[in-house]
Structure 1
Amino acid sequence: MLLRLAIRDVVLIERLDLDFAAGLTVLTGETGAGKSILLDSLGLALGARADSGLVRPGADQAVITAEFALAPDHAVAALLRDQGWRPEDTLVLRRVVTRDGRSRAFVDDQSASVGLLGQIGALLIEAHGQHDDRGLLNPAGHRDLLDAFAGHGDLLAAVRAAHGAHGKAAADLGQAEAGLAAARRDEEYLRHVVGELRHLAPEPGEEQRLAAERHTMQEGERAAGDLDEVAAMLDEYGGVEARLRGAQRRLERAAGRLGPLLEPALNALDRAALEAEEAVTALAAARSAIAYDERRLEIVEERLFALRAAARKHQVQPDALPGLAATLEARIAALDAGEGKVTALAAVLDGARRALQAACARLHEARVAAALRLDQGVNGELEALRLGKARFRTRIEPLGDGQWTADGADRVTFEVSTNPGAPFGALIKIASGGELARFILALKVVLAGAGTAPTMVFDEVDRGIGGAVADAVGDRLARLAERAQVLVVTHSPQVAARGRNHFRIAKDSDGETTRTQVTTLDPKARREEIARMLSGAEITTAARAAADALLKAAR
């Protein structure tokens, strides 16, 4: 709720401080007195476009400050918390416009962007008038207003949950399809490589074993002659072992005569015979091991070269070939499994689409029913507002599949036809200025607070009407003011009489300077102002009596 408005150096206003209260506040005054200046000033504080022409002549800058009561659960409080502010019970918005057209914005005395100021302002005040292109005149918000009017919270929650599930299912399927497509691009190559590696069948450590065997055979061919010569030497004259044993036996016969003197020699010969036997056996084994087999060498080299060629081709070490084969086989297996995964995810998406369609269908049916109630309510208000020939309708159009959102599958538009047989069209395109304000008033009354900001401003909603119609407008404004703070600029005494609070706006001139003054009216002054509105410049006794009647009827 708007609590205070302070204006400094705006056009004809030098200094103005106004306190506001709940209920219906009316602003009256003669044409050209400056009522629009007041509303323009409030708009600046709420983020409207700045114009250097608003700065009062002779002043360097214009300053407008608006203070609002702010409930902790208000959408503005959440917005400010998202921006890093710590909102209090009251919120102060300030706008400074300099002579050269530059503008600065402040929220609770902290510098802020004009964009943020505009976001805050849209949540705090609804301004309705013939030039307003927001709120009820903006088709983008009509669907939300219809849902708020009908209380579609649970149905909307179901649609949003289904929309989220559908979006996730679509994303999962898209990701799986992309992965499968990428795998398929390499499928032929993968299967070819896996076939080659399966045919090669590499084993861990095989390259090292083959290289060692090849080296042994190559070196053994060159050493075989030396080994044969050594073997021949050891085998000459019956063999070295036999000669050592023969010598040992002769010494044993001599030892029988000489005793322990030959024992060391006998032991040495015995050891030498044993070592010679081991040497001959080891030499034979070595010779057998290095036996050169040309066919075997060819087989080993062919296998070794095949392993090394495959390793170079795939840019890995030979010992990594078995692991590479396993990895590629796993990719092929994943490719085969990916087709099944895509099929399963497609089924999930199909189920999510059906669930979303069902949720949207339920919401659509509820919207159609709510639209009928809204249309009946608004059309029921039009006769009293001198719009009896006009008709209002809520148009609900289905959206294409690709246009569905978390808010459903409908486009909702408020339309009017101002005369029988005339085509329906958007409010802002069909209705004239005065008609437009009254259509908005009828809508606001029927919507009964749906999507309503804490403060509403109506600019000359009674333009071009009087009598019973003006009284009907006043009655509806008063009914709105039971649920929200309402400010109305009016030329109608019937509307003015409904106000709980009353400001009179007038021009004052000293012959050199003209200023706009705003006066808060007490009950006596209200009577005089309403009488003036009834009779004109000269206030008559009859006008005062009529004013008394209006004020009494409004109580």
Structure 2
Amino acid sequence: MLTRLTLRDFAVVASTELEFGPGMTVISGETGAGKSLLVDALGFLSGMRADSGMVRHGTERAELNAEFDLRDRPEAADWLKEQELDDDGACQLRRTLRSDGGSRAWINGRPVTVAQLAELAGLLVEIHGQHEHQALLSKASQLELLDAFGRHAPALKAVRDTAEAWAALRRERDVLVRAGDVGDRIDLLDHQWRELDKETLEPASIAELAADHRRFANAAGLIDTCERALARLEGDDAPSLLQTVQHLRGEIARARNDEPRLDEVDGMLDAAAIQIDEATRLLQRIRDDLDLDPERFEALEDRIGRLHELGRKHRVPPESLHEVRDRIAAELDTLRHAGERLAGLDDEIEAAAGRWREAAAHLGAARREAAGRLSQATTALIADLGMGGGRFEIALEPIDDGRPDPQGAERAEFLVSANAGQPPRPLRKVASGGELSRISLAIEVAALGLDAVPTMVFDEVDSGIGGAVAEIVGQKLRALGAKRQVLCVTHQPQVAAQGHAHYRVSKAEADGMTQSAVRRLDAKERQEELARMLGGVEVSKEARAAAKRLLENVA
């Protein structure tokens, strides 16, 4: 849900900040005041192409910021996490438009591409009105909305799973077919495997080999170090270290009766004597184990040389050669049984295609049933919205390119006839912006906002209507607001009266420049605004009374 929108130096808006809540928020104002600028701002924050003409005259850039609460759109939170743009639950979209035509975009303070901005905004905002940026004009979105309306998620998952299973089998078959005659490949791999299998390649073995090689390479120096240490410990030319400690213990023992704490010193020296004795024995074993055998050292060097040569041949460090060996063994096994596998794959592929056809037929039947219900409900709403004789249909166009499709065996196309006697045409080709807005509203109300986008923006949906029809439009928007957040730019008091919140856009001249200001209206100001919308410049007592009745009649 959109919670805050901030504009700076945008068109005729110097600076404004708006806060939004759930339900339906209406935006009104005099003609030319700039009430549709808020919709334009959301359009630019949704990836619309930058327009330097939207930068306020005399400034270098316009700044747009939108903040969203993602509790009603976990998919957007998941997207942020996947893109590594998450920030402790925050979701802030920012974009600047420069007077030289350039623009920059940020998500949660981090620079992003406009494409990334558009992808995230597509999960958050849907704009209905006289703009090209409308999700309902996309065939993909139309099919998604139909599936949401029909609650087809389990059937759609079955279609996707069977299509993916078929595709995986085809990929496996293609690999085997491309391999062709694998005899030469088998001979090469067999030679490589035998060459590797002669060696002990486990990492622990290679680590032990490296340690042995280092020990033999430095054997002379190690032996010298051990012998010098033993000479000091065993006392070849003087009393040994152990003898010295024992002598000290004897002297301390004679004085222990006079100082009890010497018992603790004696204990420490006793422990030191034990450690010295064990260290001496270990040094003797190490010295005895050290070998200056040149043949043994040469064998170690030969083995290390072979491992490094194998590593260079397979372009891996010696420690990874065991992985190469295992990979070669696995490929050998596959190739040796390739003929048998290839013969069986055709049957498996056909069986997988059969499972997809069954799942796709089930989904297609569900889509046809849902299309009928949605068409009927939308057609009834179109009539309510002042387009009597209009008709809404959903055409399901079969696709057959010989490959199981994860989306099913058909695509949806929304068709509309705005007037009786006219053939239905694709929704994206409907010429009138006002008609397009009302049709989009009818579809959304009929589908109860099941396309999951939490914020829906309707720009001038009441264009060309009035009276009772305008009141019905307002009621439908308010009903949709119970399911989704609805923002509506309107010039009809009957629509504005249905809002849960009301903003008014006004314009005034300051320092020789026209500026727009936006403010939220309280109850009294709202009644006065409705009276202005009803009566024009001169607000009469009758207009105020009518405005009061409009507000009192809101359910």
TM-score, normalisation: structure 1 = 0.70
Q: What does 1:195-344 correspond to in 2, within 5 Å?
A: 338-344=338-344
Query: Closer, same or farther in 2 for the Cα pair 1:457/1:335, shift >3 Å?
Result: closer
CA displacement 1:441-463 (0-9 Å, x = unmatched):
00000111211311111000000
Q: Which position in structure 2 is the counterpart of 1:444?
A: 444
CA displacement 1:308-367 (0-9 Å, x = unmatched):
xxxxxxxxxxxxxxxxxxxxxxxxx99997554333111111111111111111111111
1:419, CA displacement in angstroms?
A: 2.9
Q: Work out the CA distance in 2 between the residues paired with 1:146 and 1:17.
A: 36
**Percent sequence identity over aligned pairs:** 42
Question: In structure 2, the residue corresponding to 1:64 is in which secondary structure?
Answer: strand
CA displacement 1:108-142 (0-9 Å, x = unmatched):
22222222111111111111002234311112221
C-alpha contact (below 8 Å) 2:34/2:516 kept by paired residues: yes
What is the aligned residue count? 411
1:519 aligns with 2:519: yes
Q: Work out the CA distance in 1 between the residues paired with 2:552 and 2:383.
A: 25
Query: Closer, same or farther in 2 for the Cα pair 1:335/1:550, shift >3 Å?
Result: closer
Question: In structure 1, the residue corresponding to 2:64 is in which secondary structure?
Answer: strand
Q: What does 1:383-394 correspond to in 2, within 5 Å?
A: 383-394=383-394
Question: In structure 1, the residue corresponding to 2:91 is in which secondary structure?
Answer: strand
Amino acid at match of 1:515: Q
Q: Which position in structure 2 is the counterpart of 1:535?
A: 535
1:182 aligns with 2:181: yes
TM-score, normalisation: structure 2 = 0.70
Query: Closer, same or farther in 2 for the Cα pair 1:130/1:98, shift >3 Å?
Result: closer
Query: Closer, same or farther in 2 for the Cα pair 1:471/1:72, shift >3 Å?
Result: closer
C-alpha contact (below 8 Å) 2:478/2:498 kept by paired residues: yes
Question: In structure 2, the residue corresponding to 1:554 is in which secondary structure?
Answer: coil
CA displacement 1:5-35 (0-9 Å, x = unmatched):
1111112111111111111110001111111
Q: Work out the CA distance in 2 between the residues paired with 1:532 and 1:483.
A: 30
CA displacement 1:415-446 (0-9 Å, x = unmatched):
11223332221112135221111110000001
1:547, CA displacement in angstroms?
A: 0.6
Question: In structure 1, the residue corresponding to 2:160 is in which secondary structure?
Answer: helix
Q: Which position in structure 2 is the counterpart of 1:231?
A: none
1:178, CA displacement in angstroms?
A: 3.0
CA displacement 1:443-493 (0-9 Å, x = unmatched):
000111211311111000000000111011000000010111111000110
Query: Closer, same or farther in 2 for the Cα pair 1:152/1:106, shift >3 Å?
Result: same
1:36, CA displacement in angstroms?
A: 2.4
Q: Work out the CA distance in 1 between the residues paired with 2:334 and 2:80.
A: 50
Q: Which position in structure 1 is the counterpart of 2:422?
A: 422
Q: Which position in structure 2 is the counterpart of 1:253?
A: none
C-alpha contact (below 8 Å) 1:65/1:95 kept by paired residues: yes
Q: Which runs of 5+ in 1 are unaligned?
A: 191-332
Q: Work out the CA distance in 1 between the residues paired with 2:104 and 2:341.
A: 57
Q: What does 1:464-483 correspond to in 2, within 5 Å?
A: 464-483=464-483
Q: Which position in structure 1 is the counterpart of 2:88?
A: 88
1:402, CA displacement in angstroms?
A: 2.9
Q: Which position in structure 2 is the counterpart of 1:31?
A: 31
1:487 aligns with 2:487: yes
Question: In structure 2, the residue corresponding to 1:451 is in which secondary structure?
Answer: coil
Amino acid at match of 2:65: T
Q: Work out the CA distance in 1 between the residues paired with 2:126 and 2:157.
A: 26
Amino acid at match of 2:413: T
Q: Work out the CA distance in 2 between the residues paired with 1:484 and 1:361.
A: 33
Q: Which position in structure 1 is the counterpart of 2:280?
A: none
CA displacement 1:360-391 (0-9 Å, x = unmatched):
11111111111111111111212211112111
C-alpha contact (below 8 Å) 2:457/2:488 kept by paired residues: yes
Question: In structure 1, the residue corresponding to 2:491 is in which secondary structure?
Answer: coil
Q: Work out the CA distance in 2 between the residues paired with 1:518 and 1:496.
A: 16
Q: Work out the CA distance in 2 between the residues paired with 1:63 and 1:421.
A: 48
Query: Closer, same or farther in 2 for the Cα pair 1:417/1:73, shift >3 Å?
Result: closer
Query: Closer, same or farther in 2 for the Cα pair 1:381/1:183, shift >3 Å?
Result: same
Q: What does 1:348-387 correspond to in 2, within 5 Å?
A: 348-387=348-387
Higher-Rg member (1/2): 1
Amino acid at match of 1:12: V
Q: Work out the CA distance in 2 between the residues paired with 1:504 and 1:404.
A: 53
Question: In structure 2, the residue corresponding to 1:383 is in which secondary structure?
Answer: helix
Query: Closer, same or farther in 2 for the Cα pair 1:511/1:397, shift >3 Å?
Result: same
- Of stretches 40-49 and 77-86 in structure 1, the one that deviates more from structure 2 is 40-49
Q: Work out the CA distance in 2 between the residues paired with 1:489 and 1:461.
A: 8
Q: Which position in structure 1 is the counterpart of 2:547?
A: 547
Question: In structure 2, the residue corresponding to 1:463 is in which secondary structure?
Answer: coil
C-alpha contact (below 8 Å) 1:418/1:431 kept by paired residues: no
C-alpha contact (below 8 Å) 1:72/1:89 kept by paired residues: no
Amino acid at match of 1:477: L
C-alpha contact (below 8 Å) 1:70/1:88 kept by paired residues: no
1:79 aligns with 2:65: no
CA displacement 1:273-319 (0-9 Å, x = unmatched):
xxxxxxxxxxxxxxxxxxxxxxxxxxxxxxxxxxxxxxxxxxxxxxx
C-alpha contact (below 8 Å) 2:43/2:133 kept by paired residues: no
Q: Which position in structure 1 is the counterpart of 2:508?
A: 508
Question: In structure 2, the residue corresponding to 1:487 is in which secondary structure?
Answer: strand
Q: What does 1:111-190 correspond to in 2, within 5 Å?
A: 111-179=111-179, 181-183=180-182
- Of stretches 89-98 and 77-86 in structure 1, the one that deviates more from structure 2 is 89-98
